[in-house]
Amino acid sequence: MTALLLAQLIKEAGFPAGVVNVVCGSGPDCGKPLALHPDVDKVAFTGSSAVGRKIVKYSGESNLKKCTLELGGKSPLIICDDADLKLAAGAAFIGLFLNHGQCCCASSRIFVDSKIYDKFAAMMVEKAKGITMGTEEGKFQGPQVDVIQFNKILEYISSGKEEGAKCILGGNRAGDKGYYIEPTIFTNVTDDMKIAKEEIFGPVMQLLKFDTIQEAIDRANSTSYGLASGVCSQDIAKAMGIAKRLQAGTVWVNSYNDFDAALPFGGYKESGWGRDKSEYALENYMEVKTVQFPIINYH
């Protein structure tokens, strides 16, 4: 619906016909033909890593069109023992629950120093209890995008419970109408659990405990994704030291999900190729050409 509204505004603004087109359809009916078409020189895709691989495959099967890919994530947020806990709780809240958890860079692995773990978990529960649900203006959390995603999230919640994580908030469907899921928080999460390894894309928070900064960094980087990350600390030198060692395209310090059109956004590893936004994004749509003239004509 957003894309259609944007197309309407583009038309009202007076763009020449054909400059911007919105084509509606499913992946097989719409995305695949575009990715395979020899007259398409460039594809920019935002979505899952699985579909990103298909687009690269289709590029190889056609005209080797350039691809930029903004794909999935399992992004870590490290809460140090010297963090401003109120500020850190706010960052974790927005990082995970924004857009009902349907955010590719969601802070879905929150590593908390063991010295403040219980206190931080209690703060997150109280903050998440205040979430209002519905589609009316002023409500914070709406329904999941469709029934497929709705069922997938509930399966992840069941998996977390079965593997030994402790559900301290939510964990169920909200109400009996619509694809609403209760804001959910898990503690006692370990790195080998399914909910700690796979992208859930829903309002399900995982709190993991760590004892040393090096341990937190190693575990944060122990993933095939590298889209975004965060660190909360009142020691700027410590925060910068951690940020430099995190394998992610974006590192937020004492915040999360802060965006600016001037700042490049994109991922390491299986989180994608290239960058959106900023002047770096323009490079994705350009080709370098060399035109050379001889200084001396030897003929």
Active site residues: 70, 104
Question: Quick check: 7 and 20 in contact, CB under 8 A?
Answer: yes
Judged on CB neighbours under 10 Å (0-12, 13-18, 19+), 40 is middle
Rounded Cα–Cα distance for residues 52 and 266 (Å): 13
Q: Exposed, middle or buried, 82 (CB in 10 Å: 0-12/13-18/19+)?
A: middle
Which CA distances in Å does 109 have to 5, 35, 98, 215, 230?
34, 33, 15, 14, 10
- Would you call 108 helix, strand, or coil by DSSP? coil
- Closest C-alpha among 152, 54, 48, 151 to residue 104: 48
Residue corresponding to tokens 């059109």: 261
Q: What is the per-residue DSSP string for 110-145?
A: EEEETTTHHHHHHHHHHHHHT--BSSSTT-SB---S
Q: Residue written as tokens 């760590």?
A: 210
Count the Cβ atoms, other than its own, within 10 Å of residue 26.
8
Q: What length does the chain have?
A: 299
